[in-house]
């Protein structure tokens, strides 16, 4: 059994924390809203009144918050992770943030006596609930090995991809691929509907061929049903595409399709749909097509 602190009990963080409890770890959670802490406690975890309280006895600290400034806010300062965690603790940042920020914070964590890993995840809310997330991990190989039991409790495909910041770079690539796939799936469904095709049958056969993908499996029915209850919010994908386009520019890499989809996602968010699942990008396709 390992003492684990989870900071951020949102759509992804809470099911991850619950799966850690199920795996036999002692889990203490902190979140800005009390109801999420209560849900963790109901599943056998423990709630904390502050970040400092959550991490003081932790062997492993997981942060799962929305953006780079949020990670900085929870790890720095007198009440943050770095100032209150015990020496030698593993710090696993499962958030999706800028690679350069991940590198800088890893350096600060090591200076504070911690062992940092950037370990963003992919698989959405259902993947977090089922404990089958894909986890791309940056950091020292020895620290990755030390965290294996923790990763095994929440993920299925777990790969060490390089030094600090590498996990975030791979996650940015993941978000680029997913966004373009969602956009083109939405375009395909709009095309099928315009011709009155049996869309359920069409997605079934498309899913069995080269056009098949996890995006089609998980998002196709949501588009057909116009059900955009959030598993991963458009506002967060908008943030991630900002990371991708900025990092690509710095590396002199052209991403014409990614840039176009980033603008479509931005437009959808700016129209007030940032709280929808990222499959809600389909609404933008329909609007551009003159439909509903």
CA–CA separation, 14 vs 237, rounded Å? Answer: 19
The SS3 assignment for 60 reads: strand
The SS3 assignment for 255 reads: coil
Q: How many helices (H) and strands (E) does the chain have?
A: 15, 9
CB-hemisphere CA count at 13 Å for 149? 15
Is 214 among the residues known to form the active site?
A: no
Catalytic residue among 171, 219, 222, 283: 171
**Cα dist from 152 to 134, 231, 249, 258, whole Å:** 10, 22, 35, 32
What angle (nearest 5°) sits at the alpha carbon of residue 137, between those of residues 134 and 138? 160
Q: What is the DSSP letter of 273?
A: I
The SS3 assignment for 197 reads: coil
What angle (nearest 5°) sits at the alpha carbon of residue 44, between those of residues 48 and 37? 35
Q: Which residues 6+ apart lie within 8 Å of 195 measured at CB? A: none
Active site residues: 171
């Amino acid at each position: 059994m390992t003492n684990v602190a989870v900071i951020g009990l949102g759509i992804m963080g809470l099911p991850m924390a619950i799966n850690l409890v199920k795996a036999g770890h002692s889990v203490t959670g902190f979140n800005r809203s009390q109801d999420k802490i209560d849900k963790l406690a109901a599943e056998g975890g423990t709630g904390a009144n502050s970040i400092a309280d959550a991490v003081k006895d932790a062997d492993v600290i997981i942060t799962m918050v929305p953006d780079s400034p949020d990670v900085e806010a929870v790890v720095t300062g007198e009440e943050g992770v770095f100032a209150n965690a015990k020496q030698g603790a593993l710090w696993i940042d499962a958030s999706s943030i800028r690679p350069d920020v991940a590198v800088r914070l890893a350096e600060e964590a090591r200076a504070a006596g911690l062992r940092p890993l950037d370990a963003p995840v992919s698989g959405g809310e259902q993947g977090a609930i089922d404990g089958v997330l894909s986890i791309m991990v940056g950091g020292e190989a020895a620290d990755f090995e030390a965290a294996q039991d923790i990763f095994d409790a929440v993920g299925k495909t777990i790969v060490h991809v390089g030094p600090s910041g590498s996990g975030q770079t791979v996650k940015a690539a993941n978000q680029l691929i997913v966004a373009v796939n969602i956009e083109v799936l939405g375009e395909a469904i709009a095309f099928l509907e315009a011709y009155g095709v049996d869309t359920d049958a069409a997605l079934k056969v498309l899913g069995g061929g080269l056009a098949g993908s996890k995006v089609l499996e998980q998002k196709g029915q949501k588009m057909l049903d116009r059900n955009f209850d959030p598993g991963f919010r458009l506002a967060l994908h908008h943030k991630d595409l900002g990371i991708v386009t900025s990092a690509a520019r710095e590396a002199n890499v052209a991403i014409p399709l990614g840039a176009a989809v980033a603008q479509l996602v931005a437009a959808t968010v700016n129209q007030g749909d940032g709280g929808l699942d990222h499959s809600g990008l389909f609404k933008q396709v329909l609007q551009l097509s003159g439909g509903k």
